[in-house]
Amino acid sequence: MKILITGSSGLLGLNLALELAPDHTVVGADRNPLTSQLPFEAVGVDLLDPGVVAALLEDVQPDAVIHCAAMADVDACESEPQAARRMNAWLPGEIAAQCARYGIQLVHISTDAVFDGQSGGYTEEDPPNPLSEYARTKLDGEEAVFSAMPEAVVTRINIFGWSATANRSLAEFFYYNLAAGKPLKGFTDVIFCPLLVNHLAAVFALILEKKLSGLYHLVSPVGLSKYQFGVRIAELFGFDPTGIEPVKVADFGLKAARSLRLTLDTSKLSQALGRPLPDVFDGLERFYQLHQQGHQEKLKAMLG
């Protein structure tokens, strides 16, 4: 299968491309593509330019697109709502329209943050209530995708992992600051269900193989607080967990509102795939193993 991955220099896109490349023909598209030691083809393109999406699909002729590119900095979206809307809402609709035109499978990446986090345990049927501009634009992106291509797949995710720039995930934040002996704070009242980006690749491959369509929650089946997440990283890597201070969100003047309890029901997807999803604890173990295997250095070398 030939798979086009957008945002292929980012945390999710790059790791997906690396995991899928051994078994598929992968083309990565990014505004600032990586240049060195890539096991897949990389294309430099600004997907927001007029006509670029159609031209890219005509040139690559993929069997499937996994659309990862997004404006994901929550506070930046709050400061630049128009830029966030173009990237997170307009672009997904354009990609879906062109995939529908050419008969290409599409998996679009959304976020668990479309929910307000008041209750948790959200299913795909529960009404979203986004609290931030980031979440609002991502929800609008979901709607734009299904409007243009009802047979598309939209997955709501929360992720962690190693990135080429070493600053794209909460796990990296904890690891590098703990390694430097810097004092840290961890939210005890934010409960989330992140998945390791490397684990997502096999799930996406199965989604494409089974030709699924519709909306799915693709997160860890079990959750934990961000404080507990940091403590587990400290324990795995042999750092002192007491270097992480437990705090609450209200103690910080964050620009954008955060949802506190983002546990999602994943049974719809696990049933469709015929297998359980990996969980956050499996992911943290592999996160540590990837470190032992020099995965960070491999990613950093791709920056050129």
In the chain, the amino acid numbered 299 is: L
For 59, the enclosing helix (H) or strand (E) is helix 52-60
Q: List CB contacts of 128: < 8 A, sequence separation 6 or more.
A: 114, 115, 135, 139
Edge-to-edge strands, sheet with 2-6:
41-44, 25-30, 2-6, 64-67, 105-111, 153-157, 214-218
Catalytic status, residue 175: no
Residues 24 and 3: beta-carbon distance below 8 Å? yes
Which residues, 6+ apart, have CB-to-CB distance to 117 below 8 Å? 131, 258, 259, 260, 261, 262
Q: What number of other Cβ atoms are within 10 A of residue 218's Cβ? A: 27
Write down the catalytic residue from 134, 216, 227, 288: 134
Tokens of 133: 């501009």
Residue in this structure with the two tokens 């997906």, named with its chain if needed: 16
Q: Exposed, middle or buried: residue 281 (CB in 10 Å: 0-12, 13-18, 19+)? A: exposed
Q: Which residues contact 301 (CB under 8 A, 6 or more apart)?
A: 36, 37
Show which residues are catalytic.
134
